[in-house]
Amino acid sequence: MMKLIALSFMMALLVGLLSAAPQDISAQQVTEATCRSDYDALVTAIAQNREQSLNDIQTEIDTVFDLNHREKLKVELERVWDDEESQRNQASFILIDCLRSAEAK
């Protein structure tokens, strides 16, 4: 769960950097290849984070005997999938913004 929070923070930071003043972005060499490479790395990190979160929660479910706690953890399993979908959508918007920036040069 902490990894999901950390990944969300990293995505928010990346969005902040991409939405910086145009002169800050134009000073860098933003290319379509860079955008796609960064997007691929972000999507890979999202998938790895999902897998780790699912494994961590499932391990906890397997060791918990309290039925109420177990049910709450099962809800967390579903939330992991929802979080991943949201993060992938954010990554797509980041890619689109990056590609637009690359084209503007």
Q: What is the mean pLDDT of residues 46-55?
A: 96
Q: pLDDT over 90 for what percent of the chain?
A: 67
For the chain, how big is the Rg over CA atoms in Å? 17
pLDDT, tens only, 57-92: 999 999 999 999 999 999 999 999 999 999 999 999
pLDDT score at 103: 86
In this model, does residue 27 exceed pLDDT 50? Answer: no
Q: Which residue has the higher pLDDT, 5 or 103?
A: 103
Q: What are the two backbone dihedrals, phi and then psi, of residue 8, each rounded to the nearest 5 degrees? A: -60, -40
Contact 88, 43 (CB under 8 A): yes
Q: Which residue has the higher pLDDT, 17 or 40?
A: 40
